Structure 1
Amino acid sequence: MSAPTGGTMRPRFHFSVPDNWKNDPQRPIYLDGEYHYYYLYNGDYLAGGIGTSWRHATTRDHVTFVDHGVAIEKFTNSNGDCWSGSLVVDTHNTSGLGAGSVIALVTQAAVDRVPEGQQAQYLWYSTDRGRTFRPGFDEPVLAESDIADFRDPKVIWDDHRQRWFMALAEGDRLGFYSSLDLADWRRVGEFARDDLGLLECPDLFQMTADDGSATWILGVSANAKHRGLPATYAYWSGAFDGSAFVPDADEPRWLDWGFDFYGAVTYPHHDAAGEVDASLRHVIGWANFWDYPHNTPTIVSDGYNGDDMIVRDLRLVHDSAGFRLTSVPTAALESYTTRTHQLGDIEVDGSADIAIRSAAYDLSCAISLTTDVIDVGVEVCRAEGGSRFVSAGLDISTNQAYLDRALTANPTRGRTHAPLDTTRGTTIALRLLVDRTSVELFIGDGQSVQSHRVFPLDGDDGIRLYARGGAAVFRGLTIRELSVPSETRA
């Protein structure tokens, strides 16, 4: 894919790697009033090098990030490069490596293990508040030669049982392990699924729902394309007893129904006093997918390949179908508005072009559905003449919200969709985040999200409203242009 002629394609308000390559996010931890975010980074990518290290950035509001360089180096010994894992703060020195040490459990594929490249879990630790890490042991703390896919340890403190708990991706299942010291792990259970493809990047946490109940959530990055479902973050609510997770329902819910929200991680919110708010979490996901990881013009335009979708605020809602996570752009994003256009109510029967052109903005409205309308939405990243655009809307005939990147520059053409109650006569909230390399569609109270990686060409910045089959009213249409100062972006 060719680069644009107008210079940078780096997003204005999304996280992007400073140079070369990024992929999986690692769960941020909270220390000294800020969140420490690590991600897989290949500093030799443009030169054809392989392997990933862990690069480090910090944020206080989940929008601006300050880069701190590589924290865990790759290929420091024969244990291989560093893949995904998780970090914890060892407040009570259970590991013996020092009270307050930051411990990282990391997957590495050792070249000298049998079979060669066997995946295993290694312990790294930091005594400088997560700035730099060194290996705790030469040998893995958890290894299993009979399991080929054996990676992505997610560790939490099980306060009820006063021990550490790990969920580990093992092909079509998650292995469950416990430990008292983060080094000696014992298998205690598993959670198996044979219909969601390869399971990766597990997640387990407890949240307080809007009805006041404390509920456990098990999440995983899964690929259910063969079932006509997403390849993003699947999750279940259920019961956890320290060894087993029993879901409330067999089928998972999905945090994102789009093409590009993989390897996502959630992390707790801390209030102004530093205390955990159990009713709120955040989630960050990689803005890419393994079907087309290298297909991006930012390599040519800006010398990098790797963005994240916007950090989102998660809340747990109990409804007639059980528990679900709502997902909306993190609250601080509004603080980065550079200009606001309040356009009021606009009735559309056919199409209407908006006299605002921008490459980075937050569009919101509530769409009132009439008796006859069958398809209603917004075209963004629109070229003059309409030969290229991304459409986001509501298909009333199929009761689906959709995001379609078929008619724009993108890794693979296509449309995604999410189930939606589009009862005629109702009003449905729609919100779009548009940036130089992505479009994200939020519906309702955050009940569904679809994220796409796109690469609009220079001048593809028009906006059009449309309603087919009848009229619709776009109520309270507001466009907020957004930008994060470049000196604070990682």
Structure 2
Amino acid sequence: MRPEFHFSVPDNWKNDPQRPIFVDGEYHYYYLYNADYLAGGIGTSWRRATTRDHVSFVDHGVAVEKFTNGNGDCWSGSLVIDTEDTAGFGRGAVVAVVTQARVDQVPEGGQAQYIWYSTDGGRSFRPGANDPVLADPERTEFRDPKVIWDSSRDRWFMALAEGDRLGFYASPDLATWTRVGEYARGDLGLLECPDIFEMTADDGSSRWVLGVSANAKHRGLPATYAYWTGAFDGSRFLPDAHEPRWLDWGFDFYGAVTYPHHDASGEEDASLRHVIGWANFWDYPHNTPTLVTDGYNGDDMIVRDLRLVREYDGYALAATPTAALTGYATRTHRLGDVEVDGDLDLGIRASAYDLSCEIQWNTEAADHTGDIGFEVCRAVGGSRFVAAGLNLSGPHAYLDRTLTVNPTRGRTQAAFDPSTGRVGIRLLVDRTSVELFVDNGRSVQSHRVFPAPGDDGIRLFARGATAVFRDVTISELSVPPTPRA
């Protein structure tokens, strides 16, 4: 059941992604890894993989070992390239600021930030010091540092998850940190894995984005990546709106991190970023049949290209499957325009593919109702499937894994505007996941699913309305396995 074209850990366990860095023409991706998971062991190290196109990855093994220096195992953090040697490890050293727990300096179960460094381009790391560079004995939740270079003020800046708020810190050298502000939210559950970056929008303006993995299910909202656009002055973030937007409205896109795109010369492109998120959630982290079928537990959702777009009510991030994915098609089915009134089963069976089309419907109908979409991972006879569709009377797009094997059962939804009578759809299906992209990535929903063997049918449906599925294209996808470096 290992996915064909999504990233998965080679063995045992993975969870949180760490923000990739760009070194020597390739992206270095680190993630939390437990080599002792299947044997009942605990603790995480940082494992490294590299990619040039955000689709095909090469595994390089563990880069930051766990339980190395008495400071506990390694949790989430972030890496930077210290081009000016501010930390004293040499010009171009890769420095990681990592959360660990050290019971003799912070309360038992407490959390503090430690430095690790690499002088071989991020391939291996050593502890920079035994003492934490940032600790707070009064705070129980004190983790997941996200560090950026604040060029306007010639210093490092850190956003840190502190329960119901993000603490803001500044440093000249990655070792001495001063608290300069915070952003507090008491209505989004526990905040984790913060993110902050500046981006150029499609109208040419520049906005800051503050992101965080949040759990707002108690409000009927997602438990994925929430974000705000706004202004940042080095100590305060001023959001454009009080309510956050959500990068994914599904169940399984947690601990996500964004990272800049680099052009052929290595320069950052301020108008394009990428994002990768863990294909799981803490309500059911150990519930996966891949433990039995493939000896591992840990996938990511597809890397997505992010662009900041101006909309009628402000700025939003649009997310689409990363561009290089189309180059991994092994077989393409071009069905053209398909008119549907009721149910239509396609004569195509596949377990890993990219389905794209534009759905059109009649906006002049008196009742403006209808349920239009797809059943994928469909069993012969239709007793099991995942539904992805548009409810015109909602109006909302939805992803529903209720009628298939899945961690918790359930349906998610996200608002969309049906007034134009058409919307673009992309649907990624890959063995244990389904991802729905609506309106060029204005909304996305991602679910973890576990189809039974042979549940690989595809149905189009238009119930209560007639619809035309234009330019239906189904590309079967596979990324050839790459040897470990």
Could you tell me the TM-score, scaled by structure 1's length?
Answer: 0.97
Q: Deviations over 1:344-401 (max 9, x none)?
A: 1111111000100001000011111122651000000000000000000001111100
Letter in 2 for 1:435: D
Letter in 1 for 2:410: G
For the pair 1:293 / 2:288, whether they are aligned, the reply is no
CA separation in 2, counterparts of 1:489 and 1:376?
44
Shift of the 373–346 alpha-carbon distance from structure 1 to 2, 3 Å rule, reads farther
Structure 1 match to 2:254: 262
Residues 400-415 of structure 1 correspond to what in structure 2 (within 5 A)? 400-415=396-411
Question: Cα distance, 1:77 vs. partner?
Answer: 2.2
Residues 137-176 of structure 1 correspond to what in structure 2 (within 5 A)? 137-176=129-168
Check whether the contact 2:69–2:127 (CA below 8 A) recurs between aligned residues. Answer: no
Shift of the 382–488 alpha-carbon distance from structure 1 to 2, 3 Å rule, reads farther
Q: Helix, strand or coil: the match of 1:486? A: coil
Question: Cα distance, 1:483 vs. partner?
Answer: 0.2
Structure 1 match to 2:112: 120
Letter in 2 for 1:131: R
CA separation in 2, counterparts of 1:64 and 1:44?
26
Q: Which moved more, 1:180-189 or 1:373-382?
A: 373-382
Question: Cα distance, 1:487 vs. partner?
Answer: 2.3
Q: Deviations over 1:209-266 (max 9, x none)?
A: 0011111000000000000000000000000001110000000000000000000000
Residues 239-388 of structure 1 correspond to what in structure 2 (within 5 A)? 239-370=231-362, 371=365, 373-388=369-384
Structure 2 match to 1:421: 417
Q: What residue ranges of structure 2 are gaps of 5+ in the alignment?
A: none
Q: Helix, strand or coil: the match of 2:38? A: helix
Letter in 2 for 1:126: S
CA separation in 1, counterparts of 2:89 and 2:197?
25
Check whether the contact 1:373–1:467 (CA below 8 A) recurs between aligned residues. Answer: no
Structure 2 match to 1:475: 470
Check whether the contact 2:369–2:391 (CA below 8 A) recurs between aligned residues. Answer: no
CA separation in 1, counterparts of 2:108 and 2:348?
57
Question: Cα distance, 1:319 vs. partner?
Answer: 1.5
Question: Cα distance, 1:488 vs. partner?
Answer: 5.7
Q: Helix, strand or coil: the match of 1:160? A: coil
For the pair 1:46 / 2:38, whether they are aligned, the reply is yes
Letter in 1 for 2:388: A
CA separation in 2, counterparts of 1:335 and 1:130?
28
For the pair 1:57 / 2:49, whether they are aligned, the reply is yes
Residues 190-229 of structure 1 correspond to what in structure 2 (within 5 A)? 190-229=182-221
Letter in 2 for 1:343: L
CA separation in 1, counterparts of 2:139 and 2:104?
17
Letter in 1 for 2:482: E
Identity %: 75
Letter in 2 for 1:59: T
CA RMSD of aligned residues (A): 1.0
Q: What residue ranges of structure 1 are gaps of 5+ in the alignment?
A: 1-8
Check whether the contact 2:290–2:296 (CA below 8 A) recurs between aligned residues. Answer: yes
Candidates 442, 446, 449, aligned match of 2:444: 449
Letter in 1 for 2:286: H
CA separation in 2, counterparts of 1:38 and 1:341?
36
Candidates 344, 364, 385, aligned match of 1:389: 385
Question: Cα distance, 1:489 vs. partner?
Answer: 8.6
Letter in 2 for 1:469: G
CA separation in 2, counterparts of 1:295 and 1:321?
39
Check whether the contact 1:79–1:112 (CA below 8 A) recurs between aligned residues. Answer: no
Question: Cα distance, 1:110 vs. partner?
Answer: 1.7
Q: Helix, strand or coil: the match of 1:300? A: helix
CA separation in 2, counterparts of 1:489 and 1:403?
35
Q: Helix, strand or coil: the match of 2:105? A: coil
CA separation in 2, counterparts of 1:114 and 1:252?
33
CA separation in 1, counterparts of 2:386 and 2:28?
34
Check whether the contact 1:373–1:471 (CA below 8 A) recurs between aligned residues. Answer: no
Structure 2 match to 1:90: 82
Structure 2 match to 1:437: 432
Check whether the contact 1:65–1:489 (CA below 8 A) recurs between aligned residues. Answer: no
CA separation in 2, counterparts of 1:185 and 1:76?
24
Could you tell me the TM-score, scaled by structure 2's length?
Answer: 0.98
Structure 1 match to 2:456: 461
Check whether the contact 2:397–2:416 (CA below 8 A) recurs between aligned residues. Answer: yes
Candidates 476, 479, 484, aligned match of 1:484: 479
Q: Deviations over 1:116-166 (max 9, x none)?
A: 121000000000100000100000000000000000000000001000000
